[in-house]
A and B are shown apart, each in its own frame.
Chain A
Amino acid sequence: MSSSRGGNGRGGGEGERQIHVLAVDDSSVDRAMIARILRSAKYRVTTVDSGKKALELLGLEPDVNMIITDYWMPEMTGYELLKRVKESSELREIPVVIMSSENVPNRINRCLAEGAEDFLLKPVRPSDVSRLCSRIR
């Protein structure tokens, strides 16, 4: 798990709190990519490698403004994580974005129906993220 908490800390240039994104992906390559994309867009990022760790973190730190998660992970899929978040009274307001390397319409629809904010196809690009985050602000 890594966090840029020590660096810029809170507060963007305008005195606003920095948006904190929790990125969940079991692939170390994809974690590095999504973290870099988010950080270069000036978001504070915490990465974890499983849904279980994501829920642990969310239980401790409710200052997460957005969750971006891979769909296909061992043990707990991104869809299952999405459901758990949306079922929780403390967490349900947090937007959840699903990422997947596979373009499966049923999967996409199920996630959106369950309350996902958006569904991104991998490999994710900076333009996907800026489009997303401007809607979430």
Chain B
Amino acid sequence: MLPLCSRVLLSHPFSPMSLMALREQLNMLVNSMYIEGLLDQQFQQLQMLQDASSPGFVAEVINLFCEDAERILTELTKDQAVVDFQKVDAYVHQLKGSSSSVGAQNVKLACIQFRQFCEENNKDGCLNALNVVKHHYYLLRNKFDTMLQLEQRIQAYDSKQQN
């Protein structure tokens, strides 16, 4: 949860918050995500791949991840009456892969648990595991949304300064 003052400032998009303050807020958010286990070291790898020649890279990958995750979660939510364990496992394997690639630690761990239930052909376990994955995914997405908004504001500020 962002501290109160940050929440207020974020709700006023034209408030003249300094570039430094924006960067500090972004750092605080990302640090809290590491501490809470939402992100792992792989996210740092992602950040390091972004540079002047590829300034939108992190945002691009986050967006691809979210599209992919939501597509998979939608598929998994269908037809819960009869569970096709192999098919479900294939989807969860995909989600585990992409969450691992972006550094989405909690989502990845939840997927690993989920696959365990698939392997055991445990229907209730799978249904529960799906809820756990969703829980972690939507928490993460929320924070990613804030992160990207902050990044956009920082980049807009940067380009304004240059004009």
> Taking beta carbons and an 8 Å cutoff, which residues of A are in contact with B?
27-30, 32-33, 36-37, 39-40, 72, 74, 101, 122-123, 125-126
Contact = CB atoms under 8 A, between A and B. Distances in A.
A29 B61 contact: yes
Interface string B21-60: 0000000000000000000001001101101011001001
B60 A32 contact: yes
Contact of B45 (A30, A101, A125): A125
Is the interface on chain B under 10, 10 to 19, 20 to 34, or 35 or more residues?
20 to 34
17 contacts: A27-B68, A27-B97, A27-B98, A28-B64, A28-B68, A29-B64, A29-B98, A30-B97, A30-B98, A32-B64, A33-B46, A36-B49, A37-B49, A40-B53, A101-B97, A101-B100, A123-B42
Majority SS at the chain A contact face? helix
A29 B99 CA distance: 9
A40 B49 CA distance: 8
A78 to B, nearest CB: 13
Contacts of B98: 27, 29-30
Contact of B57 (A27, A36, A101, A125): A36
B94 interface: yes
B49 A123 contact: no
Contacts of B53: 40
B85 interface: no
Contact of A32 (B61, B90, B94): B61
B54 to A, nearest CB: 6
B93 interface: yes
Contacts of A30: 97-98, 101
Interface string B70-90: 000000000000000000001
